[in-house]
A and B are shown apart, each in its own frame.
Chain A
Amino acid sequence: MNAIAKILIAAVAVSAAAASSADATPSVPGDQITVKGNAPAICVLGEWALKSGSASFSPGSTGVATFTSDQLTGTDGVSVLGPANALDFHAPLVCNTAISWSFSTTNGAFRLTSGAVPPSGFANQWLYGLSVGPYTSGGVQVASVDSFTSSGAPQYESYGLNAGDSERIAYMDMVFTPVAQNLRMLAGNYSESITLTVSPTL
């Protein structure tokens, strides 16, 4: 049985449960029946996918985009990573209640994991531009999209949406654009984590 079939069965089961919680009022003449139910506030967060961009991508609840070494530096060790290597991620988001969303970055840079400090003329990180926002299924932007360039420090931004806007959202889109730099890069592995958090609007 696939997942959709299971969900459909669950839908029927919950509907039946709603029906079974009906309050029948036989004391009222005229065969009046009142059915009560409470639909819970719920959010469905989909898997991250790479919409465009050249990186090896592992989709899933945690999306991982991996750059090859020749996408990062040339044979002389100088950075070649730049706006041409921009990555566009998206993930479905469906809620039936007003939501707020925020994102946070771990490093604020695509940074060398070893933490080594670069000598003059070398660099241990790439800064990047980040554009994040909610969209409808037709690709129409819902509310504002936030764009900024990282500073090398962790960053946190938060936004609120009313229910009307929340219900129009089909997916969140995030564009990661590395900033080009003509610097020799320290050898090693580079990483960054970006977390998108969805909350019910209080």
Chain B
Amino acid sequence: MRKSLKVAVRTLVSALCILGLAVNAASAMTVQPVVVDLKPNGGKMSATISVQNTATTPLPVELTAKVLEFTEDGAKPTVPDPGDLLIFPPQALIPPGQTQTFRIQWVGDPELKQSKSYYVTVAQLPVKLPAGQSAIQILYNFQVLVSVAATTGGPVLSIAKTGIEPDPKTKKPEAVIWVQNTGPSYGYLSHGKLDLSEIDAGGKSVFDKSLSPQDIQQTIGFGVIGPDTTRKILVPIPLPSGQGQIKATFDAGNP
């Protein structure tokens, strides 16, 4: 029972802390959720993104979508959505203190063979500058990840290979894992458990770390792996040695 109560308290404290983020920034644009998962048919074909304007001035925003392309290095936005996502309303002027809900709906192929992902940008629209003035405008945008699963088949994630590379900033040795997704749908590394260990040249274990889903999200991020894609991920945890071998196992748990 103690364990359950601990979980309960932790959950409620987390919820309050997150909502506390909004309290700390009273004049702000709050965007949530920042990750949206859709299905190509049935009841989960649509979801909403809410944008709250707690500022004292109206907030003009526009939502646009770009297709994400998955590569070994991650994902990058490419071309504008050809019309598979319906965003409504596409623009809004959110009054001070109000929240605007935007509906994102999949209107593409209901028999989607391979999942698709998009960045939906919540863009603050530039204001029209007063006549006769010279000015600099600074705008803030936010991008929301929207993914649509394949009609049948989920992600199948596994570790394809491992290595050690220096961190680009700190130069300290860190584990590199290549995560392979052989399934037709995108998957999240942060939905499973990752066990890492390092064996030195003498065969001795010098590092052992188990990362829970929460740890992965905190350390790496969502860890999105596209369908039929292998992604290289640097795990930003310093290793004791740059000369050993990395063993990695991934347990997808119960997706």
Contact = CB atoms under 8 A, between A and B. Distances in A.
Nearest to A90: B138
Contact of A89 (B29, B34, B138): B138
B4 A34 contact: yes
Given A14-B15, A31-B1, A22 B136 contact: no
Contact of B145 (A6, A19, A69, A200): A200
Given A35-B8, A45-B31, A200-B221, A62 B1 contact: no
Contacts, number: 246
B218 A98 contact: yes
Q: What is the size category of the interface that chain B forms with chain A?
A: 35 or more
Interface residues of A, number: 73
B188 to A, nearest CB: 9
Interface string B14-28: 111111111111111
A62 B137 contact: yes
A8 B12 contact: no
B185 interface: no
Interface string A156-183: 0000101110000000001010000000
B15 A201 contact: no
A129 B17 CA distance: 37
Contact of A18 (B12, B33, B136): B12
Contacts of B152: none
A87 interface: yes
Contacts of A98: 217-218, 220-222
Interface stretch (B106-114, B126-134, B243-251): B126-134
B222 A201 contact: yes
B138 A41 contact: no
A62 B27 contact: no
Interface in B78-95: none
A7 B23 contact: yes
A169 B18 CA distance: 14
Contacts of B30: 42-45
Contacts of B134: 66-67, 69, 72, 110, 189-191
A19 B21 contact: no
Contact of A7 (B22, B59, B60, B119): B22
A96 B4 CA distance: 24
Given A94-B21, A174-B138, A35 B55 contact: no
A8 to B, nearest CB: 7
A179 B119 CA distance: 35
Interface in A94-130: 94-98, 110
Contacts of A66: 129-130, 133-135
B210 interface: no
Given A47-B27, A64-B138, 11 more contacts: A4-B23, A6-B97, A11-B20, A18-B11, A33-B4, A34-B7, A37-B14, A45-B140, A64-B135, A65-B135, A95-B21
Q: Which 6 A-B pairs give the minimum distances between C-beta atoms?
A: A201-B221, A35-B8, A11-B19, A98-B221, A199-B143, A37-B11
16 contacts: A15-B19, A34-B7, A35-B7, A39-B18, A40-B18, A41-B32, A42-B22, A61-B55, A62-B124, A89-B138, A98-B218, A193-B137, A193-B138, A196-B141, A202-B75, A202-B221
